[in-house]
Amino acid sequence: MTTIQSILDRKGSGQAIAALTAYDYPTARLLDEAGVDILLVGDSLGMTVLGHPDTTQVRLEDILHHTRAVVRARPSALVVADLPIATYDNAKAAVVSAKELVKAGAQAVKLEGGQHCAAQIRAITQSGTPVMAHIGMLPQQIRKEGGYRKKGKTAEERSSLLTDAETVEVNGAFAVVLELIESSVAAEITRRLRIPTIGIGSGTNCDGQILVVHDLIGFFPWFRPKHAQPEADVAGEISKAVSAYIKKIRKAEEL
Ligand code: KIV
């Protein structure tokens, strides 16, 4: 059983933390049986499952629904659920939303932001729910940012990211996702923090890695981030199977 303590113990252990998103029962079961450490019910489901252009329309109800499905798989992996946009605007709201996710079966929650979310991270942690932080490129800010862009290229951004990382640790986060951060900056953060860093598009010098499962298995062919190297072509397999099925039933009709 993966616990918060076992994730913390992985820091510096030489065994990278393997994390993937999961949004439903069969995927959660398969990933868990394959040995993944963390299942994230990410708000990326807004795109990969619900067909929105980004994560800004995901509601707490969506994450609750998918968290319940993932938890039904009874995974050994740690289940972390995302707090969607506008559900943690202040410390009080953050605690209430986090409690809902825990009631649905999540063992920890994730939120996006460093220095701006210090109060929320502290309040959720103090209320008894472990928090995974998320800094760097923040998908919930995509409309303000105008696109996905690597962070940490300038001295100012580098210094702000280091402050973000130290802030989330000091306020109680048990791990931090580093998204689209210059690899040298991600490496520096990983060296400085006592909590594990989990990278996505931030180079290999992190304590673990996370990917959207659809990007790993080739299940969302309409958008593939640069950092994702698919290990399978599930979309292609589905097309092949469906074409074969259509051909077979139409041939049967002709007989
Ligand atoms: O929502 C999500 O899937 C995420 C990961 C990409 C880290 O936040």
pLDDT at 252: 75
82 close to ligand 1 (CB < 6 Angstrom)? yes
Taking the centre of ligand 1 as the mean of its atom positions, its distance from the CA of residue 66, in whole angstroms, is 14
pLDDT value at position 113? Answer: 98
Q: How far is the CA of 245 from the centre of ligand 1 (A)?
A: 34
- At residue 253 the predicted structure's pLDDT band, cuts being 50, 70 and 90, is confident
pTM over 0.85: yes
| Residues catalogued as catalytic | 179
Q: Is 44 in the pocket of ligand 1 (CB under 6 A)?
A: yes
**CA of residue 92 to ligand 1 center, whole Å:** 24
Distance (Å) from CA 144 to ligand 1 centroid: 18
The residue segments making up the domain with residue 61 are 4-254
* Statement: residue 168 has pLDDT above 80: yes
- Tell me the pLDDT tens digit for each residue of 52-98: 999 999 999 999 999 999 999 999 999 999 999 999 999 999 999 99
- Count of domains in the chain? 1
State the alpha helices, DSSP H only, in the chain: 4-9, 25-34, 45-48, 60-71, 91-103, 118-126, 142-145, 155-170, 183-192, 213-217, 234-254
Does an H or E element contain 18, and which?
A: strand 17-21
Structure token pair of residue 140 = 């919930």
Which residue's CA is the closest to the ligand 1 atom numbered 8?
42
> Which residue has its alpha carbon closest to ligand 1 atom 2?
42
The CATH number for 77's domain is 3.20.20.60
pLDDT more than 90, % of the chain: 96
Q: How far is CA 181 from CA 54, 186, 187, 197, 234, in A?
A: 20, 6, 10, 12, 29
Q: Which of 36, 82, 141 to mutate to test the pocket of ligand 1 (most atoms within 8 A of CB)?
A: 82
Residue in 23, 27, 43, 47 to alter for ligand 1 test, most ligand atoms within 8 A of Cβ: 43
pLDDT for 85 equals: 98
